[in-house]
Chains A and B, each alone.
Chain A
């Protein structure tokens, strides 16, 4: 099992128990709380949530049926003025068709200690704003009045939603610490939800049961025959499944570099409806198993329905594949056709929006439209192809069978024993070289019969960058030389995506800037357009001041401007994994000719070190041949995904590299 899958499993197993002492009631803010000047376990916190309570439940009324109610109660403490930015709350309210979510019973109070007395200020209408945010969302915002350093605010409100199947994601961690958190989700037996948890913190979730009653009136008697109507009151008892989550001293969440989608590591819980089961009615499934998820999406008109369409492209595809029968060739032809014809509108989606036909006609589509089109064409051409549902970098990775977890589609093709993943939204893409938005996510390949399988897009093979420099030092301490750089696979893709369309003039400026080189000449760039091949750059350089001349000696790092000057990791510790997306190997070969009349006094010695479990290694070789120094360096990180417990060694690995590459050559005048 690779690291990535291990992580997913370990996340599910983390459960622990916490106990609480203090009771929190609206309006009962204590003087001690107001006097507190810093958060006990994190003195650098500007504000903290002292208490948050969320109750999510259903109520029933005969006229509108079930409604989903979310009650929020929060108590927030401000240790200093920088914390005041947490004094405003923002609530998004979904609307669709004629239905919409509404907020009621909003109440807020600010408490401040003035002359040793607790002064309360109420939130009034003037501090509450409602706005139409977009077509499907309204927004309610409020900001608390009369804050001073040390103030505490309390607010509570209720969201009433007719969208009973959508419980919003519940965050169990925030940008500021949470002292105590209590969440209660109560679901009538008629609705069965799956839970999907994320984060590196243990989540203490307890199950319990309660009961509820549905009261309704029925009319009997038959008016038609002139009889008298009798109204009778009926009650149905039902079971309520209750989840209680409690947590205390939840640390503030911090985004770290190289982490893909940081939301994957933020503690949260998502509820997704699996099935609905009313008495005396058949069960209605939404999703339960991967098989059900796969089947339900194949039945979805905007997925399965779209996959089946092929009339719109038949003519053109027949022409393109012509007489070729080899499936590999057919795949290449069709993949390139869709890639060139279609432009991605930067919209994510696992289902189509305007449909494949319209997308095909206009040449523009979302990720589902473009890749469903590709999949149908390949299928039409007899290639073994299957759709892959993807949780992109934007979506929290889904650990349980759920449709909600996906927001993107790519294609998987089997050619003999080779498996190719194809994404035609990416003009610079190539088979098995997918854009960042896909590799930092995860996927699930699905088949119409319901079988499915988890896919990790992070490649097993490393992508390479190779630099080679040949240069000559002068007696004055200047350096003149040539460099060539080759990038392959993901590194080539990355280069094309970032710098592909730039003019040579801008490429030269980029090199001048990154290497701090003033004089660059004979720049050449090859392979940018030959997708699938390496990208190579060449240039000549002159450096006037790259060498430290002290008395009759010269000192310099033989890696010159290619030396790693800084560790990319600066944090002392890390709570969650490092996700590079793909492994890499960076190699440098240098041949440095020393000036006449000088001899080599010191040169760095060869050395090698590695990361545990073959996650990476570094090799430095040096040799002196006549009047030349030859250096070869290889730095390899073979694992794209490094778990947090390896962070200290990873950081140290890069420290050692920086140190080794900074070692000096000393030349002395003979």
Chain B
């Protein structure tokens, strides 16, 4: 197109706010009334939120919510996408929403019938019976304000909505309050966490509790920060007498809560067909110890079953019968754990159902507050000298290996005598080993070929062994991405060996590149660290707010024999370099073997831990120094 024509189209975009209706005006919603401290770093502002929880009886709790949120930009839209989940035990009695523009003029109103109603898919369940009502609003411009009101009654009083006034990053809160009304004789328990550092007013009169907070500015996520819920105030609430999908219970601590879970949700669901018991007895007949037997049984379960999640009614909390799993060959985490437990029981090996938060970001079951918690179940076998942990939903994990999904955190052990809190296995840095060795040949034509061996143990096993399940094409792509800094890398051969007995994963990979070394005049430039270059890129913070958490440690070692191109040698090799910090150690070394052969050695150990926020910059510097040393080049001259 000619420029002359285009000229007319060059206009500054004015996002004009067309006034649509003049129905109602609420000056108090005007955006100009928000304190600038609350708009900084924020995508949305909670102008006010009032939640009233009324405890009507052991099987009825009503939650009334009125929330006013001003959305400042498109990233904040999600904070005002109000939706209300419901199911057979949760009824929505009232739901409505009104949208106002920046000046406080009403734009649009949504009544209950205007809300969409869909099945609540959780992405991993084959089927569940939860549904969601939500509404769709296309913002005409920003900012805008949403006033949302709902009233929901639940018959499952085992869950009482906690108070979490600051729900997420980049959300500031002008005012938020929470009130529990409890005219019943049922006692309530409360647990307040992270209230320090926030100005929270709380009032407790008899069975009534209220909290309020105001003027909290938005938080911004930082790398290596603690989990969000460790940074914001949370008040958990539980009833001493409660109901779960029609199953009533009473508990005040983990012992009694666990007892209830055992009696009402687990007990009697472990019967197995005689035939299966016989088969298993034969299977373990020659095994000597309980541990050996358990290993055979775990293998049996892995071969026979697969994970399929079906969450319907109380089935969301109660495992399928062990006999059903035996027959169908599938189940969810509860069902498969219960089944494994039943098989172990049949051989007189005691084991316990363990409720956990399964997530790579560690989250504990709160040891001090008994309530419905967790999202996953694993199996605990208490041996005399150690606790064994089984992840029963995996067909591929080695025995007594739980990886980073449930490691090192508090779980609830459900026993016939009651519940107790235990900590799952922690994988120490020294256990998480990745050892890379390579034999490298460099040629005069700049090309490189190498035979690489990577051996992974501990958590490195769980981080690296997944590649065996991919197609050859994807495996090649994954290695090419991993060593993306090597141009035109070809993956010529892949041999993988998964030794589940010793929990060791070995990768033998043959690679080549037509142009690894760089030619400068008659000389060649080589980066001897071919396969272990640190690729982290940590952001710098002028004013870091949160402490630094390294959640898991590890040890990576590299050792390569590098055969130099024929007719080339080096004048000198760089000095050995090592860095020692409280976060770990690093060492880089090049050794002369002959004038045409050198050895490259690298060692990196990272130690897990929580460090004060001031330490982050030191850690960042540590990693960036490593990165620089990793890329050290040497010059090769012609002989």
Taking beta carbons and an 8 Å cutoff, which residues of A are in contact with B?
42-46, 80-82, 84, 87-88, 110, 121, 126-127, 129, 131-135, 139, 141, 143, 145-149, 252, 254, 328-329, 331-332, 335-336, 339-341, 343-346, 361-364, 415, 418, 420, 427-428, 430-432, 501, 509, 512-513, 516, 518, 529-533, 545, 548, 550-551, 553, 555, 565-567, 570-572, 601-602, 655, 658-659, 662-664, 666
Contacts and interface: CB of A to CB of B under 8 A. Distances in A.
B469 A82 contact: yes
B518 A566 contact: no
Contacts of B288: none
A362 B139 CA distance: 11
Interface string B305-349: 010101000000000000010011110000000000000000000
24 contacts: A81-B306, A84-B395, A88-B126, A135-B116, A143-B126, A143-B308, A146-B327, A146-B328, A147-B306, A329-B8, A332-B9, A361-B20, A418-B1, A428-B13, A430-B6, A550-B633, A550-B635, A551-B571, A570-B477, A572-B473, A601-B520, A602-B521, A658-B487, A666-B521
From B10, B118, B396, name the one whose CB has the most chain A CB atoms within 10 angstroms. B10
Given A345-B138, A362-B108, A427-B13, A516 B537 contact: yes
Contact of B9 (A46, A129, A336, A658): A336
Given A572-B476, A601-B521, A129 B633 contact: no
Contacts of B470: 44
A214 B11 CA distance: 66
Given A145-B327, A664-B518, A664-B520, A658 B488 contact: yes
A346 B137 CA distance: 11
Given A361-B20, A532-B6, A570-B477, A149 B306 contact: no
Contact of B539 (A43, A148, A509): A509
Contact of B20 (A43, A363, A513): A363
A80 B6 CA distance: 60
Interface string B124-136: 0011000000001
From B302, B306, B515, B574, name the one whose CB has the most chain A CB atoms within 10 angstroms. B306
A334 to B, nearest CB: 11
Nearest to B489: A570
A430 B5 contact: no
Contacts of A663: 518-520
Contacts of A336: 9, 11
B126 A512 contact: no
Contacts of B119: 131-134, 139
Contact of A513 (B327, B329, B476, B539): B539
B639 interface: no
A141 B488 contact: no
Interface string B146-185: 0000000000000000000000000000000000000000
A571 B473 contact: yes
Nearest to B304: A148
Interface stretch (B436-444, B478-486, B590-598): B478-486
B488 to A, nearest CB: 4
Nearest 10 Cβ contacts at the A-B interface: A332-B8, A146-B329, A532-B10, A44-B471, A81-B395, A345-B138, A129-B127, A145-B328, A655-B488, A570-B480
Chain A contact residues, majority secondary structure: mixed
Nearest to A341: B18
B577 to A, nearest CB: 14
Given A530-B11, A567-B487, A570-B477, 14 more contacts: A81-B396, A141-B127, A328-B5, A331-B8, A343-B141, A345-B138, A501-B74, A531-B10, A532-B9, A550-B635, A570-B481, A655-B488, A655-B515, A658-B487
B327 A518 contact: no
Contacts of B276: none
B296 to A, nearest CB: 16
Contact of A44 (B9, B473, B572): B473
Interface residues of B, number: 76
B13 A571 contact: no
A666 B6 contact: no
Contact of B8 (A328, A341, A363): A328
B396 A346 contact: no
A131 B127 contact: yes
Contact of B13 (A531, A555, A567, A570): A531
B247 interface: no
B18 A363 contact: yes
Given A147-B329, A343-B140, A570-B477, A431 B6 contact: yes
A340 B16 contact: yes
B14 to A, nearest CB: 6
B471 A45 contact: yes
A340 B1 CA distance: 23
A254 to B, nearest CB: 7
B201 interface: no
A145 B303 CA distance: 13
Given A362-B108, A530-B12, A553-B635, A141 B126 contact: yes
B395 to A, nearest CB: 4
Contacts of B5: 328, 415, 418, 420, 431
A135 B472 CA distance: 42
Contacts of B6: 430-431, 532
Interface of B: 1-2, 5-16, 18, 20, 73-74, 108, 116-119, 126-127, 136, 138-141, 302-304, 306, 308, 310, 324, 327-330, 395-396, 469-473, 475-477, 480-481, 484-485, 487-488, 490, 515, 518-521, 525, 537, 539-540, 571-572, 574, 628, 631-635
A545 B628 contact: yes
Contacts of B14: 340
Contacts of B537: 513, 516
Contact of A346 (B126, B138, B490): B138
A666 B138 contact: no
A551 B635 CA distance: 10
A147 B556 CA distance: 39
B520 A666 contact: yes
Contacts of B127: 129, 131, 141
A345 B518 CA distance: 52
Nearest to A461: B1
Contacts of A87: 306
Contact of B10 (A518, A533, A658): A533
Contacts of B525: 555, 664
B330 A548 contact: no
B2 A501 contact: no
A594 to B, nearest CB: 15
Contacts of B310: 129
Contacts of A135: 116-117
A5 to B, nearest CB: 22
A140 to B, nearest CB: 10
A418 B487 CA distance: 44
A135 B631 CA distance: 58
Contacts of B12: 529-530
A146 B305 CA distance: 7
Contacts of B476: 570, 572
Given A532-B9, A548-B633, A550-B633, A512 B108 contact: no
Contact of B1 (A431, A566, A601): A431
A405 to B, nearest CB: 26
B565 to A, nearest CB: 17
Contacts of A146: 304, 327-329
Given A145-B330, A550-B634, A501 B73 contact: yes
A133 B117 CA distance: 9
A551 B117 CA distance: 71
Contacts of A126: 324, 328
Contact of B11 (A80, A141, A531): A531
B1 A432 contact: yes
B347 to A, nearest CB: 21
Contacts of A145: 327-330
B543 to A, nearest CB: 13
B97 to A, nearest CB: 16
A516 B303 CA distance: 47
